[in-house]
Amino acid sequence: MQRSPLTGAAVAALTLTLTAAATPSNATDAVNAAPRTSVAPAAGVSLAADLEALKTQLAALQARLAELEAAQQAGAQKLQQTAEQTETLAQTSTEQQEAIDRGADNLARALGESAASGWVARWQWKGDFRYRNETIDQQYTTATRNRDRIRARFGAMARVNDTMRVELQLATTEGADARSSNQSLSDVNSRKPIELDVAYMEWMPAEAWRITAGKMRYPWVRTSSFFFDNDINPEGFAASWQQGANGFFGSAFVTRLAERATFADSSMQGVQGGYRNVYGDGGRVLVAASYYDHSAVRGYNTIQAGSAGGYFGNSTGSGAALCRTAVVGATGTCLADDFDVVEMLGEWQFKLADRPLLLYANLARNTAAKFQAQGLDTAYAVGFNYGRAVASIPGTWEFGYLYQKVEKDALFGQWIDSDFAAGSTDGGGSAFRVAYQISPNARVNVSYLMTETNLDVPVAVTVPTPATVRGRDYDRLQVDVNWTF
């Protein structure tokens, strides 16, 4: 238990009392008041000793009291010093916090100004990720194939100034395939490559004009047919003109296909012209005509390098009379036809049961297809899309159907879709497509491609027995989940 220190007044009073009790007069009064008895001399000695001991204790108590008062004064001084230091620290902390706040305000103001007029405002970021399960059932093979694939793309659009912008995009890849950004989940958890997918500059010298150069988006209009693969980004330059939101439009473009040091470079130069009109109720109409002139293709092996390479159904030949053997190498195989393709396309959209219905058609002919005696030079597609899955509206959906046939040399095989009819010409069939928006920016797509290959030229097979067949079934089911951000 902690004892309370005695005050100076209390000690003085106690001292006075004890001193008075020890005086002779007090002792005489006490003796006179007591009964008259004989007093032994030893009693006086004992009282004096007790008084002396009490004085000694009192002196010790006074010394202890002095020590406590000194300690109390020292503690008070230390507490005062601590309070002063605390106040100083608080003032310093306040000043530092005010400086931090001022710095944060200045930084926010600087970033705000930068976002309004600087580099932040000039960049627009975007990306998407897709997970796909795919089943392929090809006739005259030993087993049905099933695989999981991923596609990831990430890029940005940067505004250089009021009339120029640049777009850059990276994407997953497998063998640098121009027709696919998919990456199969295989090879014991190996890392997957990412390569340059888009890199182009766009200049708009006037409201109606657009000049593009680099690895760009398609500079010509297409429908939902499989004449051109959606993953291809042409390389070259283009000029486009648009009369307005409604009206005539046109474009001219040059795409580089192969550059050679000592031989002619392969390329495709083309033009497109058309008319579009969008109505107030959501309806629209589009018609266009295109011409794609491929040069330095016949006699060359103008195909993709690596694992993505192949002629994709086009007729091939061999021998020095046709092939530039110094270019095609030891194989001695080359493309047997040139490709000068004329295409007509059209779209018409209107409302049906309060939902959009889009009808479309494509017709193309290769005027330079001379190798095959049958003149396998025509391609066509017809289809429709009903409804529309909107990225921002969960629960929206769409459904589509397409029938397409591409004769062997009707289209340049490097352009056509890689999924339909095994990704080759000389095939045809039906495609069923469904999309459902499960949440904002998350969508499920299902495609079932029920096609045939080798419709024009038979192919040799070994299963179940060696034979030459025509019209080989090729079915493909794709279930995709797409996230955009």
Q: Which stretch of 1-10, 63-72, 192-201, 266-275 has the lowest confidence by average pLDDT?
A: 1-10
**Domains in the chain: boundaries:** 8-33+41-102, 118-484
Question: Interior CA angle at 251 toward 247 and 257, to 5°?
Answer: 155
Beta-carbon contacts of residue 165 (< 8 Å; ≥ 6 apart): 157, 158, 159, 201, 202
Beta-carbon contacts of residue 254 (< 8 Å; ≥ 6 apart): 236, 237, 238, 267, 268, 269
What is the pLDDT averaged over residues 10-27? 43
The maximal CA–CA distance of the chain, rounded, in angstroms, is: 166
Highest mean pLDDT among 46-60, 118-132, 219-233: 219-233
pLDDT single digits (tens) 81-106: 666 665 665 565 666 666 666 666 66
Dist CA 309 CA 287 (whole Å): 34
Could you tell me the pLDDT band of residue 65, with boundaries at 50, 70 and 90? confident
Could you write out the DSSP letters of every residue in 112-163? HHHHHHSHHHHEEEEEEEEEEEEEEEETTSSS-EEEEEEEEEEEEEEE-SSS
Per-residue pLDDT at 70: 79
- Is there a cis peptide before residue 356, judged by omega within 30 degrees of 0? no
Per-residue pLDDT at 386: 98
Which of residues 88 and 420 earns the better pLDDT score?
420
pLDDT single digits (tens) 229-242: 999 999 999 999 99
Which of residues 84 and 315 earns the better pLDDT score?
315
Q: What is the DSSP letter of 110?
A: H
> Residue 94: in which H helix or E strand, if any?
helix 41-117
Per-residue pLDDT at 332: 80
Q: Assign 320 to helix, strand or coil.
A: coil
Residue 189, pLDDT > 70, answer yes
Q: Which stretch of 17-31, 285-299, 331-345 has the lowest confidence by average pLDDT?
A: 17-31
Q: CATH fold of 118-484, please? A: Porin (2.40.160)
Residue 6, pLDDT > 60, answer no
> What Cα–Cα distance (Å) separates residue 217 from each residue in 221, 242, 263?
11, 17, 28
Q: What is the DSSP letter of 86?
A: H
Residue 62, pLDDT > 90, answer no
Dist CA 286 CA 301 (whole Å): 36
What is the pLDDT averaged over residues 65-92? 69
Per-residue pLDDT at 52: 79
Average pLDDT over the chain, rounded to an integer? 86
Which of residues 339 and 301 earns the better pLDDT score?
339
Look at the block and give the residue holding tokens 């690895």: 215
Residue 33, pLDDT > 60, answer no
Query: Environment class of residue 46 by beta-carbon count within 10 Å: exposed (0-12), middle (13-18) or buried (19+)?
Result: exposed
Per-residue pLDDT at 7: 44
What is the pLDDT averaged over residues 223-232? 98
Per-residue pLDDT at 31: 37
Give the distance from CA 370 to its chain's centroid: 47
Could you tell me the pLDDT band of residue 41, with boundaries at 50, 70 and 90? very low
Q: How many alpha carbons fall within 13 Å on the CB side of residue 100?
A: 6
Residue 412: phi, psi to the nearest 5? -70, 120
> Residue 85: in which H helix or E strand, if any?
helix 41-117
What is the pLDDT averaged over residues 378-394? 97
Could you tell me the pLDDT band of residue 306, with boundaries at 50, 70 and 90? confident
Per-residue pLDDT at 350: 96
pLDDT single digits (tens) 173-186: 999 999 999 999 99
Please give the model's pTM, rounded to 2 decimal places.
0.77
Could you tell me the pLDDT band of residue 68, with boundaries at 50, 70 and 90? confident
Q: How many alpha carbons fall within 13 Å on the CB side of residue 31?
A: 12
Dist CA 416 CA 335 (whole Å): 16
Residue 216, pLDDT > 50, answer yes
Residue 12, pLDDT > 60, answer no
Per-residue pLDDT at 3: 43
pLDDT single digits (tens) 97-133: 666 666 666 666 655 655 555 677 789 999 999 999 9
Q: Which stretch of 32-46, 202-216, 231-245 has the lowest confidence by average pLDDT?
A: 32-46
Dist CA 332 CA 339 (whole Å): 20
